[in-house]
């Protein structure tokens, strides 16, 4: 099983450039998430989705956009890259049902993004 | 929204010593609780989870955690540290399933605790 797959693993962007971070999962999970991780700050939720066609903002959505056209894919778009977006980005997925046994999140390996 | 506090951003122990990583949550209604581990340049891996069953939860690699409602705590322990335990550990909680409007599956993370194990 591939689980959650993120591409690319590393990327350097210039200020003002745009890019899309790709995320796909093969576990048929309804819920998908994008987090950013900064040193000493833990993980902050950027956007999440509870199913195809449904997305919502997390704690730090500014400067990002998402879409969820299929159950498997949840890309994250940076339109105008800024140095403050230098971070490690993690995609995750979970069943997200009413049963606590199914709320475990599975994480991708991360994308390390540097904006210069 | 939930909040999670991990006391101590860095913890150092000797190999063979007890590991204790602290986590407190804010909700008055017990949420679901998780501990994740992150090795360098890796994603997060689930260590263990509490989902309102037994209050003492056993996880992988000899770790366990005890849910204490009265203390709103979910501290992670391991009786004897191993060099391979050196990593960053994150405590996380979900919205309570008993709260109307909660988004189950949405995780709130603590800031993490870096565990160093000395030989």
- Condensed to tens digits (0 to 9), the pLDDT of residues A49-60 reads 988 999 999 889
* Residue B22: pLDDT over 80: yes
**What pLDDT, in 10s, does the model give residues A55-107?**
999 889 999 999 999 999 999 999 999 999 999 999 999 886 555 555 788 99
- For residue A113, give the H/E element and its range: strand A111-115
How many CB contacts within 8 angstroms connect chain A with chain B?
75
Higher per-residue confidence, B105 vs A29: A29
- Least Cα distance to A114 among A16, A40, A36, A12 occurs for A12
Give the distance from residue B87's alpha carbon to the nearest chain A alpha carbon, in angstroms.
14
pLDDT bucket at B85, cuts 50 / 70 / 90: very high
Does B2 contact chain A (CB < 8 Å)? no
**What pLDDT, in 10s, does the model give residues B45-66?**
999 998 777 889 999 999 999 9
pLDDT bucket at A19, cuts 50 / 70 / 90: very high
Interface with chain A: mutation pick from B41, B47, B105, B108, highest number of A CBs within 10 Å:
B105
> What gap in Å lies between CA B61 and CA B59, rounded to an integer?
7
Q: Residues with Cβ < 8 Å from B70, sequence gap 6 or more?
A: none
User: Mean pLDDT, to the nearest integer, of B74-102?
Assistant: 86
């Amino acid at each position: 099983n591939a689980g959650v797959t993120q591409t690319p693993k590393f990327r350097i962007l210039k200020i003002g450039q745009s890019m899309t971070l790709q995320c796909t999962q093969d576990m048929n999970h309804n819920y998908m998430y994008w987090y950013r991780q900064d040193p000493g700050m833990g993980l902050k939720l950027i956007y999440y989705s509870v199913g195809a066609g449904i997305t919502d903002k997390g704690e730090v959505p500014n400067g990002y956009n998402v879409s969820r056209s299929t159950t498997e894919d949840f890309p994250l778009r940076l339109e105008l890259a800024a140095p403050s977006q230098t971070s490690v980005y993690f995609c995750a997925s979970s069943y997200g049902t009413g049963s606590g046994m199914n709320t475990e999140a599975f994480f991708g390996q991360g994308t390390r993004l540097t904006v210069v | 929204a939930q909040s999670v506090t991990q006391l101590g951003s860095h913890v150092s122990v000797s190999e063979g010593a007890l590991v204790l990583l602290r986590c407190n949550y804010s909700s008055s209604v017990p949420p679901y609780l998780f501990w994740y581990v992150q090795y360098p340049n890796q994603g997060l891996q689930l260590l263990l989870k509490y989902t309102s069953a037994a209050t003492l939860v056993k996880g992988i690699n000899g770790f366990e955690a005890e849910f204490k409602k009265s203390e709103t705590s979910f501290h992670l322990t391991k009786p004897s540290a191993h060099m391979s335990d050196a990593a960053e550990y994150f405590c996380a909680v979900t919205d309570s399933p008993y709260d109307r409007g909660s988004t189950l599956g949405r995780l709130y993370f603590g800031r993490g605790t870096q565990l160093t194990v000395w030989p």
